[in-house]
Every structure is written in C-alpha cells, then in structure tokens.
Structure 1
Amino acid sequence: MNVQEVRQMFPILNQQVNGHPLVYLDNAATSQKPVSVIEALDDYYRRYNSNVHRGVHTLGTLATDGYEGAREKVRNFINASSTEEIVFTRGTTTALNLVAASYGRANVGPGDEIVITPMEHHSNIIPWQQVARATGAALKYLPLQGDGTIDLQDAEEMITDNTKIVAVMQVSNALGTINPIKEITAIAHKHHAVMVVDGAQSAPHMKVDVKDLDCDFFAFSGHKMCGPTGIGVLYGKKRHLEKMEPIEFGGEMIDFVGLYESTWKELPWKFEGGTPIIAGAIGLGAAIDFLNDVGLDNIQEHEHKIVEYAMARLAEIDGIEIYGPEKRAGLITFNCIDVHPHDVATVLDAEGVAVRAGHHCAQPLMKWLDVTATARASFYLYNTEEDADAFVKALIKTKEYFGNVFG
C-alpha cells in the first residue's frame, strides 16, 4: 500500500484551506481518521447501539462483543499477556492519573523517590507532583544531554534503591527524542522500582511490545493513532493491577454492593466504572485493524524518510533553529529567529499548512530550551514529500513576510 493509496482513505485530506490544498502537519496533537474508523463508529450507532455487559438482548450482545473484541485487538497490538491487563480509559492523561492515584499513593512514602525527566508531557509530570506532595516522596529529574536525550549512565546514578517509580515517555512530543525505555526499565527493576511509560507518541508510529520492554505500565491514546477522541488504554502487569484500588466508583465496576460495603469486579472491569466508552473502543479497534493492514514497520520507515527529507529542506533556510536530537521520531520542533511561533503558525495556516505552536504541554522542557514556545511540524503515514515541500515553501514565505515588516 503506497502513500497515495493511504491518503485516499482519509476524506478530510481532500480539501482546501484558505485557498490551498490542506497540508496537515499536526499529527502529534491528533491524527486524522480513515474511512474504516468513521464507518465503524457509524455502524455502531446505526445498527447496534446498546450498553454492554448487562443486557442479554441481541443489541447488547453485539455491543459487548464489539467492545471486548476491541480489547483483544489492543492486547495483540501491544503484545500483552491477557485482556485482563488492558484497561480502557479516556486517554493517556486519564491512564497516567490512574496509575499515580491508585498505585503511586499506595506504594510510596517519605524517603521514597519518583524519577521522571524534564521532557515529559504535563500529563506525566503533574500526577507525580501530586503523589509526591501527598506522600512526602521526593520527585527527581533525570538530566538531559544537550540534544535532549537521556544518558543511561545518568539513569544508573539517579535511580537507586530509594526509587519506587520511574515514569518516562517513550517518544517526546516536543523534541522527537526516542528514549531507551527497555534499558531504563532494566535499571528501574534492578532497584525494584516500577516503570511507567507514556506511549502516546510511540504507539501510533512504531511497534510496541510491552513484554519485550518489560515495563509495568504503558499508556496511550486512540485519537493519535487514527482512532476516535475520548478513548485510551492503560496496560498494567496483572500482579500490579490486582493489588490496585479503583479510583472511580459506581456501576459496571462492582461485584456486590451492600448498605455499608461493596466488592469489585475482576480485572479489567474494576477500573471501568460507569457506562464505558463503547463507540470509542470499537473505533479504536477499527484503527488498530487499519494500522496493522498498513504495517507499523512501514509507517515508521515512511516517517523516517519524510522527516529526513524535511530536515534537509529546512537546512536550506537561514534563521531556522531546530531542537532535539539528530535521530528522532517523525516531528520537527523549530523556531524562526525573531518571529514568534504563533505568528509562524498563523502565516503557515494562511498557506494551508497546519502546524502546532506553543509550549506543547511541556513547559519545563521549554524552560530547559530557554524559549517560551516553539513551532512543531509532525508527520504521519499519509504525509508526503510534497507536504514537506509545501511546508518549507510556506516557511520561506513567512520569513520573507516578517523580514519585510521588520526589515
């Protein structure tokens, strides 16, 4: 399946924005949806919309089969051992908060340490700040190298027997850094710490094998991998999930409710209180089918070629500062010298090119970079070299415009 065939499956790409063909380069924020995902959502609502698990009627059975079938697709997608280890959530943020609030608060205390990095998304910083504040644990940050990577020697020195939790993103949403999760996990486990991985920017773009990584928890979102918004996944090793208490209570997650005490359902349902995200899960299952058909290895290779091509084209332009390592995932974070990134994004949008501008929910990293904000172009399986050319052309026009204004 070539990139032009892939593009035909995304109806939103076939439009003009501000009189120009749409060039969508904001995939790190959210991806577009193929027809198969849109049709899966439509089919659920048109044909078998019903609640799951409780009903014995036909529609309820179809909905339950679709919902639990999606869980099995997720299990296979990340190579988990059992569907008991797959918890549906609203997204990566909710999944990380669940780990922090349930596992974190119960397993750390004064004198213990939580180790994270300055490149983390706010969703993998704030929950651990709250755990540290509530328990008296110390929050520590692995230092970054000058190119925004982690030195494993620093991890060896900082992760100690006092460390109870290590939480690191697999791929940086702001730098494109690909972190050595398997190696960091091995260091954490040597000290009997658990490893929590933010996989929001890795699961859509590369093969993830949680058994091979040996991480204890892995979180990701559907909307960044061609699926619907409002659905995400928390993978957790069964032995951890079994000991954790739910943090949402009500219908669906209970086994027995008495006047003064209650018991919970077995895994994974004890963490899925209330009517679950049925359509979202079914849509996520369709997205996984789609990504598997294209092939995660093919996607990663394609993105690698596109980002290399785009980086080479950007090198032709004076006054562009690019952040992050040479070896990176499919995104480029940059600034135009003397032009605010929001102004850059506004002019690019006028040319039909959609990029992100701001702090990317990574304010500590922006401080480390000594900037207030950056612009970011992020690529996916449907982007082309022509998209990169249009991006560069619009960027040159941006520089010319502001050079004339301020020159």
Structure 2
Amino acid sequence: MTLTQTRPLADLIRADFPILQQQVHGKPLVYLDNAATSQKPQAVIQTLVDYYQGYNANVHRGVHTLSDKATTAYEGARDKVAEFINARSRQEIVYTRNASEAINLVAYSWGLSNLGPGDEIILTVFEHHSNLIPWQLVAQKTGAILKFVELDAQQSFNLPQFQTLLSDKTKLVAVVHVSNTLGCITPVAQIAELAHAVGAKVLIDACQSAPHMKLDVQALDCDWLVASGHKMCAPTGIGFLYGKLDLLRSMPPFLGGGEMIADVFFDHATYADLPHKFEAGTPAIGEAIALGAAIDYLNVVGMEAIHNYEAALTQYLWNNLSQIPGLTLLGPAPDQDGFGRAALVSFTAGEVHPHDLSTILDESGIAIRAGHHCTQPLHRHLGVQSTARASLYFYNTLAEIDALTIALGEAIEFFGSIF
C-alpha cells in the first residue's frame, strides 16, 4: 500500500461533505477532530431533511401513510446496522441515544441483576468515562469490585497482565476496542475467548472502531457491543447496542413507558419482544433513518478501503509529528504500513498547554482536540494533565497533515520563545 495509491479516496469523496468546503479565519478548514465527532455527507443531511419535510410521523403506532413510511424506514435502518456488524438477527440491535446510553442500559439492566458482592469487573486504565462511570455506580450498588488492565511497554493493552486478573470471580470484561487517546487497538477477539473461558461476559466499546474498520460481532464473539452514530457520519442523538439474542431476552427493561410494552394493567405490565423492550418512548426517528443512510454511504465507500487509506494517513501523521522537536507522542507506533494503531495521535509539547496549541492552530483554520478526552484516569496514570489530539477520517488528506505539521511547528517555536 503506497500513499499514491491511497490518495484518490479523499479526492473522490470530499465534495460530499459540505462543511469541509468552508474557511475558518480566512484559511481552508482542516478538520482533525474526528474522534470527537465526524462530519456528515450530503446524503445523510438530505435524509434528515427528507424525513422532516416528507413523512414526519411517529413509528409503529399509526396505520396512516406517513406513519407506515416512517416505520418502514426506521426499521429498515435497523436491518442495515445488523448487517453492518454481522449480527445474527435484527432483534439483536437496540437503538439508543449514543454509546453512553447503551453501556448504561447494560449496566443497569444486566449489571444490577447479575452482579453481587465480590464479583469482579475488569476494565482498562484507558477506558472512556462512558465505560467507567456506569460500572463504578453499579459496583457501589452491588458490592462488585473493579479491576484494571494496565499498559504494556508500547502503551497498549497488557495481555499477560489481563490473564493474571481473570478468575472464577470475573463476571464481566468491558473494554474499549480502540483507545480514543492512545490509538491502540485492543485484541478484543482474544479477550472474549479468554473471558468466556472463566464464564465472564464481554462488552466492547466500538465507538472508535465502527467508523474505521469492518466489524463482525459473530467473529468477535462479544456479548454486547456499543457504538455512537455521530462518529460514523450519522447525526448526533443516535447510537446502538448489539447484544446476543438470548442474553437480551434475559435482561429486564431499562426504561419504562410507551413502545416497550405488550399489555399494561394497573398493577403490572408485560413487555414487547426484542428489540422494543429496551426502546421506551418516541425514538429519534429521523436520526435512526439517517444512521441507515450513513451506513449506506460507508458501505459504498467500503470499510476496507477506508481502513487501508487511513492506515497510510496514520503513518504519514505519525512520521510528521515525530519530526517536530519537543513533541511527545502517546500510544504505539504504527507498523511500516501504517497499521497497528488507529488514525489519531495524542501528544504533549513540554510546557505548552494543549489548549494554547489548539487555540493558535484554530487561527490557521486547523481544528484539533485539547484536554483529557474523557480519559482523566489515563492521563493521571501517564502523569500528564491533558494532551492535544489530531484525529483523522477518510476525507482527510496528506496536504492537511502537512498544514498541521507546519502550523504546529510554528506554534511550538513561538511558545518556545516565551518559555
């Protein structure tokens, strides 16, 4: 895989993203904050417009034309999600507002019903807060114990240490597939095999992997997987939970209300079949339909093509940033083809605060993230308060990485003259 072979992908699709055509502070926008949220292609934007202009109606409850059309599109998008991750059944896909809600659903439905004093939950030191705080709350309520996999020498998942943590007390392993700070890729299939061998369940946070690589939940053999639509070209306010069918059926409802019921009496109720048992109230209909449109778009581009193109971008970004004096890059280095880590790089610049770097880069039209990236415990573990992060997607180009490199070098030189 060479850069010249991969360069045309962004050239072919950039025009599909209206927001990328603008200028910021008189400079062409260079959007490198994709790990926080991705931009949306016109096809997804138009899908939302078409819904609200053409067939805005509630789903499932109506027999009129608009409701029927909305229901068909809404449930059709569920089929697209199921196919996208190779679920066995569409009933294994539960719509949520985002991955955070999906994790909370599992924590409060399965966790409170199945965990007790002394049971152990294994997480990593690089979990996003969304896959940490719900388990802290569940542990406080049930007496379960949290244990953490630390980093290996390459700042990746420490597999040997993980194996020492596993025991018959392990009831759940909840891990991020791709770290939003370190960029490391967790060996989730191997983790699931080892966890299942001791009888534990496995939850995968796929927020940073679903937009960038092909996922197969059957091959991974995870019990649950969560993702957020807004990181994969879909709108905000829509995400999904995948769960094995029998496991979801065994879990009690998370929220009560309309849509999730079969029959309701004054003193009790029976619940709808999956997936509606977990989808109380009027859902984010337009957003779910647009998630389906986003998946259509990603499939047309091709997840393998996206992954391969981003590998070349990642290698180029890592190599460029490695040449800037004063920068310390976090996470494992990519291999010679750019694989082995995700398409993002977090870094520090000595005494220069990441917020100052982000502010001065913004003056050049370059958008990066600065802060703790919802991984405060990891930053404390690494001995840094915050980091800057440049994160890529398949519409980014080598020229944009060049622009970042030049502006970042100039910024560090400027701040160096102050310090």
Question: TM-score category by the smaller chain?
Answer: over 0.9
The within-5 A match list for 1:65-76 is 65-76=72-83
Q: Which runs of 5+ in 2 are unaligned?
A: 1-7, 334-339
Secondary structure of residue in 1 paired with 2:16? coil
TM-score, structure 2 as length reference: 0.96
Q: Structure 1 residue 21 and structure 2 residue 52: aligned?
A: no
For 1:218 and 1:134, locate their aligned partners in 2 and report how far apart those are by CA, in whole Å. 23
1:110 counterpart residue number = 117
Aligned residues of 1:159 and 1:191 also touching (Cα < 8 A): yes
Q: Structure 1 residue 245 and structure 2 residue 258: aligned?
A: no
- Out of 242-251 and 149-158, give the one that drifted further: 149-158
For 2:248 and 2:256, locate their aligned partners in 1 and report how far apart those are by CA, in whole Å. 16
**CA deviation map 1:219-243 (0-9, x unaligned):** 0000000000000000000111001
Query: How many equivalent pairs are there?
Result: 406
Q: CA deviation at 1:149?
A: 1.1
Secondary structure of residue in 2 paired with 1:174? coil
2:93 counterpart residue number = 86
**CA deviation map 1:39-61 (0-9, x unaligned):** 10000000000000010000000
Aligned residues of 2:95 and 2:239 also touching (Cα < 8 A): yes
1:119 counterpart residue number = 126
Q: CA deviation at 1:153?
A: 1.9
**CA deviation map 1:233-275 (0-9, x unaligned):** 0000011100111121111111111011111100000100000
Q: CA deviation at 1:319?
A: 0.4
2:410 counterpart residue number = 397
TM-score, structure 1 as length reference: 0.99
RMSD of the TM alignment (CA)? Answer: 0.8
Secondary structure of residue in 1 paired with 2:240? strand
- Out of 352-361 and 152-161, give the one that drifted further: 152-161
1:193 counterpart residue number = 200
1:263 counterpart residue number = 270
Given residue 62 of structure 2, which amino acid in structure 1 is its aligned partner? G
2:161 counterpart residue number = 154
Q: CA deviation at 1:368?
A: 1.2
Aligned residues of 2:9 and 2:395 also touching (Cα < 8 A): no
2:5 counterpart residue number = none
**CA deviation map 1:267-323 (0-9, x unaligned):** 000100000110110000000000000011111111110111111111221101000
**CA deviation map 1:173-215 (0-9, x unaligned):** 0110100000000011001100000000000000000000000
Aligned residues of 1:255 and 1:264 also touching (Cα < 8 A): yes
For 1:167 and 1:316, locate their aligned partners in 2 and report how far apart those are by CA, in whole Å. 36
Q: 2:309 aligns with which of 294, 299, 302?
A: 302
Secondary structure of residue in 1 paired with 2:211? coil
**CA deviation map 1:5-26 (0-9, x unaligned):** 2101001000110111000000
Q: 2:190 aligns with which of 183, 186, 192?
A: 183
Aligned residues of 1:176 and 1:330 also touching (Cα < 8 A): yes
The within-5 A match list for 1:197-346 is 197-326=204-333, 327-346=340-359
For 1:118 and 1:31, locate their aligned partners in 2 and report how far apart those are by CA, in whole Å. 25
Aligned residues of 1:100 and 1:131 also touching (Cα < 8 A): yes
Given residue 354 of structure 2, which amino acid in structure 1 is its aligned partner? P
Secondary structure of residue in 1 paired with 2:208? coil
For 1:364 and 1:297, locate their aligned partners in 2 and report how far apart those are by CA, in whole Å. 33
Given residue 222 of structure 2, which amino acid in structure 1 is its aligned partner? C
For 1:251 and 1:217, locate their aligned partners in 2 and report how far apart those are by CA, in whole Å. 25
For 1:174 and 1:126, locate their aligned partners in 2 and report how far apart those are by CA, in whole Å. 17
Aligned residues of 2:9 and 2:394 also touching (Cα < 8 A): no
For 1:155 and 1:313, locate their aligned partners in 2 and report how far apart those are by CA, in whole Å. 33
Q: CA deviation at 1:342?
A: 0.4
**CA deviation map 1:64-99 (0-9, x unaligned):** 000000000000000000011000000000000000
Q: CA deviation at 1:147?
A: 2.4
For 1:202 and 1:143, locate their aligned partners in 2 and report how far apart those are by CA, in whole Å. 20
Give runs of ≥4 in structure 1 deviating > 3 Å.
none
Given residue 103 of structure 1, which amino acid in structure 2 is its aligned partner? W
Q: Which runs of 5+ in 1 are unaligned?
A: none
Q: CA deviation at 1:400?
A: 2.0
For 2:153 and 2:101, locate their aligned partners in 1 and report how far apart those are by CA, in whole Å. 31
Secondary structure of residue in 2 paired with 1:123? helix
Secondary structure of residue in 1 paired with 2:242? strand
Change (3 A) 1:144 1:362: same
Q: CA deviation at 1:152?
A: 2.0
For 1:143 and 1:358, locate their aligned partners in 2 and report how far apart those are by CA, in whole Å. 21
2:336 counterpart residue number = none
Aligned residues of 1:111 and 1:137 also touching (Cα < 8 A): yes
Aligned residues of 1:155 and 1:187 also touching (Cα < 8 A): no
2:374 counterpart residue number = 361
